């Protein structure tokens, strides 16, 4: 009886809290709309003006956030709401997410920010289970953030020194190797000679100079033509449509500090070709750079990099080159591993921390022998009949 009474009291208290939260947040939203002059104005008789403000349709209290859904009046430009995102932060704090369409907007108000966390291999495997080419991004306020690179091809990672970009690359490639080793060929270009040394005995090749990368790009382009011919003969549009026993491995080319290739026209032409037609052929790019360069990220290449991870940027101009908006410039120096993920919209995400010793331990079972490593060394110059080897790690 006492337990039932206690439960009844808790249930009653929760009902009261939900009811009070509903009225409190509706009132706050009304004041916010008025303060920001977010309304549709129209003149009526005798010069009078009628103002139509957004209407709150629902306030929902969840265990980790309060969600407010509001509807815009006809005639109010949705951009007027998005441009005043700062006003929502002033009213409810920085731990919010504002998203919407042309008519309906959703505001999620969280009690606290996403905390830094260590890379957990078991948790990552559970999160990416079932994905063909899994990319583990990290955690947002709504949970684990993962996606399939075969569905969202090519990735750009950008951020200043010390922002967490290098750790993110380490985490992404480690996850790919551990979860897709039987269907993956990984090639790495470490142009700064600082990021990809961990993968020297795991990836098919790790090169450190532009001429070596040029040979890899030539071989990949030739392999793409071969795969295209196979699909043409089979009357198919994607290598995933081939029978399982005839399906080639996915190829991933990861290049760190791609901005150093700005003057390497042949290499950049090959990278652009991969970005344009690689998805159907099972060939994907992971490109990274410290400072986004508009000369490197020209229109075609930038548009084909469908997913972007923007860590801390020095200013709004650089952030706009990467994301098309200035959010990455708002990330603080203390927020290491924090990024703005561009994938079906923009979302703040905390990437996992994976140090070098732990990554080495996780990659140990996937190392190849010295003989195997030597068997795929970059050749001085590919001849006309060279073909890229199709196989697994």
**Which 8-state DSSP code applies to residue 382?**
-
Q: Are 153 and 252 in contact (CB under 8 A)?
A: no
Instruction: Tell me what pLDDT residue 15 has.
Output: 56
Does a structural domain hold residue 277?
A: yes
| pLDDT over 60 (residue 318) | yes
**61 in the same domain as 179:** no
Q: Is residue 116 part of a domain?
A: no
In a domain, 19, yes or no: no
301 and 245 in one domain? yes
Q: Is residue 43 over pLDDT 90? A: no
In-domain check, residue 12:
no
- Say yes or no: 340 and 241 in one domain: yes
Given 56, 82, 110, the domain boundary residue is: 110
| pLDDT mean over 358-369 | 90
Instruction: Answer yes or no: is pLDDT of 316 > 90.
Output: no
- CA–chain centroid gap for 206, Å, is 24
pLDDT higher than threshold 70 for residue 370? no
User: Does 140 share its domain with 87?
Assistant: no
Q: Give whole-number Cα distances, 303 to 143, 153, 155, 276, in Å.
A: 28, 11, 11, 9
One domain for residues 279 and 335: yes
Report the pLDDT averaged over residues 144-164.
94
- 193: pLDDT strictly greater than 70: yes
Instruction: State the pLDDT confidence band at 344, using cuts at 50, 70 and 90.
Output: confident
Q: Is residue 20 one of the residues assigned to a domain? A: no
- pLDDT for residue 8: 56
DSSP-assigned beta bridge partners for residue 106: 69, 99
Give residue 390's pLDDT: 40
Q: Do 271 and 322 belong to one domain?
A: yes
Between CA 296 and CA 103 the distance in angstroms is: 37
Give a yes or no: residue 383 inside a domain: no
Instruction: Give me the pLDDT at residue 152, please.
Output: 96
Query: Is the separation of the CB atoms in 249 and 308 below 8 Å?
Result: no
In tens, the pLDDT along 271-313 reads: 999 999 999 999 999 999 988 777 777 778 888 998 999 999 9
82 lies in the same domain as 45:
yes
With 60 as the cut, is the pLDDT of residue 1 above it? no
Q: Which helix (H) or strand (E) holds 364?
A: none
Q: Which of 136, 138, 134, 137 is nearest to 150 (CA)?
A: 134
Whether 186 shows a pLDDT value over 60: the answer reads yes
Q: Which residue among 85, 110, 135 closes a domain?
A: 110
Same domain, residue pair 125 and 269: yes
Phi and psi angles of residue 210, each rounded to the nearest 5 degrees, phi first = -60, -45
Q: For strands 205-207 and 184-190, give the pairing.
A: parallel
Closest CA to 155 of 143, 163, 167, 147: 147
Query: How is residue 192 annotated by DSSP?
Result: T
Q: What is the pLDDT of residue 327?
A: 85
Q: Is residue 4 in some structural domain?
A: no
Q: Where are the beta strands (DSSP E) in 246-316?
A: 250-256, 283-289, 307-310
Q: Which are the contacts of 214, defined by CB distance < 8 A and separation ≥ 6?
A: 264, 266, 267, 270
The CATH number given to whatever domain includes residue 153 is: 3.40.50.300
Same-domain pairing of 105 and 131: no
The whole-angstrom separation of Cα 343 and Cα 142 is: 15
Average pLDDT over residues 351-375: 81
The count of structural domains within the chain is 2
72-86 average pLDDT score: 92
Rounded distance between C-alpha atoms, residue 144 and residue 139, angstroms: 5
For the residues 116-133, what does the mean pLDDT come to? 95
For residue 387, pLDDT beyond 60 = no
Mean pLDDT of 36-62: 89
Task: Give, for 151, the enclosing helix (H) or strand (E).
Answer: none
| Residue 349: predicted pLDDT | 94
Strand-pair partners of 250: 184
Mean pLDDT of 242-264: 93
Residue 104 carries which DSSP code? Answer: E
Average of per-residue pLDDT across 50-60: 94
Average pLDDT on 4-13 reads 54
171 in the same domain as 286: yes
Helix 121-128 and helix 165-180, axial crossing angle in degrees, nearest 10: 70
194 and 157 housed in the same domain: yes
**With bands split at pLDDT 50, 70 and 90, how would you rate the model's confidence at 48?**
confident
Average pLDDT over residues 205-223: 96
Same domain for 99 and 157, yes or no, is no
Q: What percent of the chain has pLDDT over 90?
A: 61
Which pLDDT band holds residue 184 (cuts at 50, 70, 90)?
very high
Place 105 in a pLDDT band, splitting at 50, 70 and 90. Answer: very high
User: What 3-state class would DSSP assign to 303?
Assistant: helix
What is the Cα 344 distance to its own chain's centre?
9
Is residue 93 domain-resident?
Answer: yes
In the chain, helix, strand, coil percent, each to 5? Answer: 40, 25, 35
Predicted TM-score of the model (pTM): 0.76
Which structural domain, as residue segments, surrounds residue 54?
26-110
Which of 38-52, 118-132, 221-235 comes out lowest in average pLDDT? 38-52
Mean pLDDT, rounded, for 259-270: 91
């Amino acid at each position: 009886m006492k337990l039932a009474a206690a439960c009844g009291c808790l249930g009653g208290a929760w009902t009261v809290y939900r009811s009070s939260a509903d009225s409190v947040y509706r009132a706050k939203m009304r004041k916010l709309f008025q303060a920001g002059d977010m309304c549709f104005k129209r003149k009526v008789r005798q010069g009078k003006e009628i103002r139509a403000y957004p209407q709150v349709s629902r306030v929902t209290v969840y265990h980790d956030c309060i969600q407010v859904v509001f509807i815009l009046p006809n005639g109010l430009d949705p951009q007027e709401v998005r441009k005043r995102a700062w006003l929502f932060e002033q009213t409810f704090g920085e731990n919010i997410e504002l998203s919407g369409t042309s008519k309906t907007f959703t505001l999620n108000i969280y009690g606290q920010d996403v905390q830094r966390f260590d890379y957990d291999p078991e948790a990552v495997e559970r999160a990416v289970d079932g994905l063909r080419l899994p990319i583990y991004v990290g955690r947002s306020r709504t949970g684990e953030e993962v996606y399939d690179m075969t569905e969202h091809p090519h990735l750009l990672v950008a951020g200043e020194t010390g922002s967490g970009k290098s750790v993110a690359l380490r985490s992404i490639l480690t996850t790919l190797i551990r979860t897709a080793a039987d269907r993956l060929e990984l090639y790495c270009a470490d142009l700064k000679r600082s990021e990809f040394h961990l993968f020297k005995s795991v990836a098919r090749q790790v090169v450190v100079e532009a001429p070596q990368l040029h040979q890899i790009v030539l071989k990949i382009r030739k392999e793409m033509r071969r795969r295209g011919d196979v699909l043409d003969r089979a009357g198919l549009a994607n290598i995933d449509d081939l029978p399982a026993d005839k399906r080639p491995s996915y190829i991933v080319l990861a290049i760190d500090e791609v901005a150093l290739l700005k003057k390497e026209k042949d290499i950049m032409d090959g990278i652009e070709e991969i970005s344009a037609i690689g998805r159907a052929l099972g060939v994907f790019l992971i490109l990274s750079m410290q400072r986004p360069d508009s000369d490197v990220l020209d229109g075609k290449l930038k548009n084909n990099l469908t997913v972007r991870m923007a860590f801390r940027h020095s200013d709004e101009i650089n952030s706009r080159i990467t994301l098309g908006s200035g959010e990455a410039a708002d990330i603080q120096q203390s927020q290491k591993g924090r990024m703005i993920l561009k994938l079906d919209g923009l979302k703040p995400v905390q990437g996992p921390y994976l140090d070098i010793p732990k990554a080495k331990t996780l990659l140990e079972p996937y190392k190849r022998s010295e003989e195997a490593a030597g068997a795929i060394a970059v050749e001085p110059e590919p001849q006309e009949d060279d073909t890229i080897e199709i196989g697994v790690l």
